[in-house]
Structure 1
Amino acid sequence: MADAVCNFIVKWSAKEYEISVPSNTGTVLCLKKAIEVETKVKVARQKLLNLKYKGKAAEDGLKLCTLELKPGFKIMMMGSLEEDITTASTAPENVDEVINDLDLTEEEVALENREEYLAKIVKRVDSYEIKMLSEPRPGKKLLVLDVDYTLFDHRSAAETGNELMRPFLHEFLSSAYNDYDIMIWSATSMKWIEEKMKLLGVSTNKSYKILGYLDYLAMISIHVPKHGLLDVKPLAVIWGKFNGVYSSKNTIMFDDIRRNFLLNPQNGLRIRAFREAHLNRDKDRELLYLAQYLKDLAPLDDMSHINHRSWEKYRPSKKPK
């Protein structure tokens, strides 16, 4: 007698797919293979976010009946089509906005080896593992934050981390969390990031959750004749990892170094560096003002047309675009 089937709904890339697997003998791997047939996303690239067993991601060999899922259970998937990884990793054309800020000429930043850079990005998407701390929330935009001099004065001496923490940090993150998933990307080691987030009380705060951490290994190097090699943070690494969830339309990055978003100038906002904490912590209001800016941007369906260099003058229109 043939095994009965159970139907599930898989949500991916703003669409829903009805997937059928054997009720009693079907495994998580069977489900993934069925998903591949419907979506063309390879099994190795699939991440089934809410398919858990004893608090952990369900392993491929686990029988689905063990999970006691009801027919029609909705599964949220992340995963990239092979051809979309390259598309999601394409560097933007309007690099000129950043050229002026770096005192570079168009000839010097022609990015004539763009294919080489795209290959590096594709490699990061394929091999780099973001340290995930929580799960993406449907409908939320993405805020990517640097650490040193953006959230924390890492050069000054102090007895406690709170003395070097940028003013209004937790208020800023709590406010942003209402509309944005929050990712931390530092040009340092993962150990440094974890220690600093623990020191600042970010990783344990109950008012918000951090989506994940990226370290220097997720960055790539590009060559500029006048300045040599520049390490940058291509947001396409994140977009490739979360295909269909985040894109240039709903992502903004804060960093005190503009060259870090050289490949994504339309998504980057250069934040004023927070230095000499002892002298400036009583008067620094950057995060307070930026929290309001993020709230003003939140209703927009597409943020990619906004010039973040003029963020302090931005006033939201009555009808979000």
Structure 2
Amino acid sequence: MSSEEHQLEGASVSATSSAAAEEHDTIVADDSGIPETWTELQFSWSGKLFSLKVADSDRHVSIVFDLKATLYSMTDVPPERQKILGLVKGKLPPEEARISDLRFSGKKFTLVGTPEGHEIKDPSQMGNLPDLINDLDVELTDAALEAYKRDRRNARKIREATEKLNVNIIFPLRSGKRLLVLDIDYTILDTKPLTTGSLPPAECARPKLHEFLEAVYPHYDICIWSQTSWIWLETKLVELQMIGSNKNYQISFVLDKTAMFKVFTVRDGKPWDHSVKALQIIWNRFPQFDASNTIHIDDLSRNFALNPGSGLKISAFKDAHTPAAMADRELEKLARYLVHITGVPDFRALRHNDWKKTLRQLPPP
């Protein structure tokens, strides 16, 4: 039985497909003859849309408990791993809460959580983990950039990727904000100890990570784009408390490796291919963003190949927990730069390669 076909019998939450929900009367009488009304909710999880109903009149059974149980039946995500975002204002009430305790902020919400059987256990056996070896970068020469621009295949790949793009909006985009596209592996965390389990997630994060995101969030909507699988990315964002926590920032949406494609160039006189993060894919989907108000932060400049003017290369963060890594203040400096450039009407007038030079010319904070 599929998740869309599944219904909980005798419970206060039922799962249905959108079509089935339209066929059902929203007023149902139980054995006592007292009518019940139901509210239809939709939620997205792992890029898929689901529908379910909650009983408005329930006063006896824990709605939060039943909701989590239904989500478990539909997605295999255990209740203890579930992060429910956007259903109510503030933090979701405890499982003892009744329906009367909930104040829905909307009829749609996002579920974040990894299903049973998909946990990251032995990194050596996982084919979708970040690339720990191939960190070779490619020099973006003027000739190479011009070749990328002329390549009709690249334009076609952007169109194809736009058509296939499945964006899960975690937090609504805000009017008038710039867009920050942020890499994760070796940009804001040291991936190696994370995959091997040699350090807890919080100790793998680059120093001042949350302070950085809180500083830029008033000015930028934040997109995380990683060259990894969604399961890996989702799990680590939760463990790093970047999603589902009470920080003073929100991640608007996340893109994984499925939104990337390969381009071809020459390295040391030999053909060489690598994947890229083409910002035009985002701009096609969200036309309020373009090269004038988007900046992409990554430790690999090769990811900027199709939009070099919007890219800012940051030094790679490795060897977490060593004295040198703990003294790293790259994100602290980057936050100052990102806030500073919000005074520039059009980012195309900037040279992000000179960002540290620009910082040195600013007055002390």
**Higher RCO by CA contacts (8 Å cutoff, separation 6 or greater):** 1
Give the deviation of 1:155 after TM superposition. 0.7
**2: CA distance, partners of 1:236 / 1:276:** 33
Gaps of 5+ in 2: 1-38, 44-48, 50-136
Aligned match for 1:262, one of 305, 327, 347: 305
Q: Is the 8 A contact 2:203 2:321 kept in 1?
A: yes
Partner SS for 1:275:
coil
**2: CA distance, partners of 1:317 / 1:276:** 30
**1: CA distance, partners of 2:145 / 2:220:** 35
Structure 1 residues 127, 254: CA separation in 2 closer, same or farther (over 3 Å shift)? Answer: same
Tell me the number of residue pairs that the alignment of Structure 1 and Structure 2 aligns: 224
Query: Match of 2:198?
Result: 158
Structure 1 residues 151, 112: CA separation in 2 closer, same or farther (over 3 Å shift)? Answer: closer
Query: Match of 1:134?
Result: 171
Gaps of 5+ in 1: 1-52, 60-99
The answer to whether residue 253 in structure 2 is matched with residue 239 in structure 1 is no
**1:173-222 Cα deviation digits (max 9, x unpaired):** 01110100000000010111101101110002331110101011111211
Query: Match of 1:200?
Result: 240
Q: Is the 8 A contact 2:178 2:289 kept in 1?
A: yes
**1:63-97 Cα deviation digits (max 9, x unpaired):** xxxxxxxxxxxxxxxxxxxxxxxxxxxxxxxxxxx
**1:130-185 Cα deviation digits (max 9, x unpaired):** 22201110000000000100011011353411111110000000111010000000
Query: Match of 1:49?
Result: none
Structure 1 residues 316, 136: CA separation in 2 closer, same or farther (over 3 Å shift)? Answer: farther
Q: Is the 8 A contact 1:161 1:200 kept in 2?
A: yes
Query: Match of 2:114?
Result: none
Query: Match of 2:347?
Result: 303
Partner SS for 1:281:
helix
**2: CA distance, partners of 1:202 / 1:108:** 34
**1: CA distance, partners of 2:141 / 2:344:** 32
Query: Match of 1:229?
Result: 273
**1:236-260 Cα deviation digits (max 9, x unpaired):** 00000101x1000000000000000
**2: CA distance, partners of 1:247 / 1:316:** 28
Aligned match for 1:274, one of 317, 326, 338: 317
5 Å-filtered alignment, 1:208-219, equals 208-219=249-260
Query: Match of 2:57?
Result: none
**1: CA distance, partners of 2:41 / 2:148:** 45
Deviates more, 1:196-205 or 1:181-190: 196-205
Partner SS for 1:132:
coil
Query: Match of 2:180?
Result: 143
The two structures have a TM-score, normalised by structure 1, of: 0.65
Provide the alpha-carbon RMSD of the alignment: 2.6
Give the deviation of 1:107 after TM superposition. 6.2
Give the deviation of 1:103 after TM superposition. 6.8
**2: CA distance, partners of 1:260 / 1:136:** 24
**1: CA distance, partners of 2:202 / 2:251:** 19
The two structures have a TM-score, normalised by structure 2, of: 0.57
Deviates more, 1:179-188 or 1:119-128: 119-128
Q: Is the 8 A contact 1:297 1:316 kept in 2?
A: no
Structure 1 residues 295, 203: CA separation in 2 closer, same or farther (over 3 Å shift)? Answer: same
**2: CA distance, partners of 1:274 / 1:218:** 24
Query: Match of 1:19?
Result: none
Quote the sequence identity (%). 35
Q: Is the 8 A contact 1:266 1:305 kept in 2?
A: no
Q: Is the 8 A contact 1:158 1:164 kept in 2?
A: no
Q: Is the 8 A contact 1:109 1:224 kept in 2?
A: no
Q: Is the 8 A contact 1:197 1:203 kept in 2?
A: yes
Letter in 1 for 2:315: R
